[in-house]
């Protein structure tokens, strides 16, 4: 983002934060940027808890990449659920024993008021602008779209359509994509302080969670999710 970031260090905290300002005609919006040191829900929850404790933000936005069903599309989570929660059990079939996950999905819904605000806007012009301004070679030619719906969160990278169908779609048929961090962010936002902080998950699709998974679309997905989040900050969030 075209923001003049300044590094910010907190005594006793090994994480590095960046501080920036978005200037609007009648106000300034102060932003703290933080990045996890590794992937996953645990790192996401820890980082979110520290941000809440140090800075008491009005909103938390998580951007980045995720798996979904159309390269380059942007996902806004309305319900974040942990599909990897449950119990591993042995079952016997045809004289063979295999281990399966007996799921116990945990759900965290996003604020209905926030959902209504986000879904009431049209984003076609913004999406055209984001694609046109991408400074590198486009990895896909399709126009990006915005999808609102449940995002599934798990503990491991998924490169299997079978896992998607059996552990995700079978228990959340309206799920629009999956990642490894969003549930940790939402859980920390609900439990770190008595003042619950609204969360917006903005993830762009960089792979289809199949055997052809690679990293080629990740820079584009990271860019589109960040630019979309910037638009929310400038024009929608109050």
Residue 32 in this model has a pLDDT that exceeds 90: yes
User: Helices 41-55 and 182-191, interaxial angle, to 10°?
Assistant: 40
pTM higher than 0.85: yes
Query: Cα separation of 67 and 152, whole Å?
Result: 10
CB half-sphere exposure, 164, CA atoms < 13 A: 20
Q: pLDDT by residue (tens digit) across 151-193?
A: 999 988 776 777 777 777 777 889 999 999 999 999 999 999 9
How many Å is the maximal CA-CA distance in the chain?
A: 72
């Amino acid at each position: 983002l075209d923001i003049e970031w300044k590094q910010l260090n907190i005594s006793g905290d090994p994480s590095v934060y960046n501080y920036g300002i978005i200037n609007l005609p009648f106000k300034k919006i102060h932003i703290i940027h933080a990045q996890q040191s590794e992937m996953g829900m645990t790192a996401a929850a820890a980082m979110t808890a520290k941000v809440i404790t140090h800075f008491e933000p009005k909103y938390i936005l998580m951007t980045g990449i995720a798996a979904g069903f159309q390269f380059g599309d942007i996902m806004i989570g309305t319900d974040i659920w942990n599909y990897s929660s449950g119990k591993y059990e042995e079952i016997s079939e045809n004289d063979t024993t295999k281990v399966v996950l007996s799921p116990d999905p945990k759900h965290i819904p996003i604020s209905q008021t926030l959902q209504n605000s986000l879904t009431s806007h049209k984003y076609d012009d913004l999406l055209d602008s984001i694609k046109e301004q991408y400074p590198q070679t486009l990895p896909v030619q399709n126009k990006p779209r915005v999808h609102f719906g449940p995002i599934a969160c798990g503990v491991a990278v998924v490169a299997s359509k079978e896992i998607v169908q059996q552990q995700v779609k079978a228990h959340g048929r309206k799920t629009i994509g999956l990642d490894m961090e969003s549930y940790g962010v939402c859980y920390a936002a609900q439990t770190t302080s008595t003042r619950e902080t609204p969360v917006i998950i903005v993830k762009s699709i960089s792979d289809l969670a199949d055997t052809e998974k690679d990293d080629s679309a990740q820079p584009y997905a990271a860019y589109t999710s960040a630019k979309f989040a910037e638009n929310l900050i400038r024009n929608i969030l109050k």
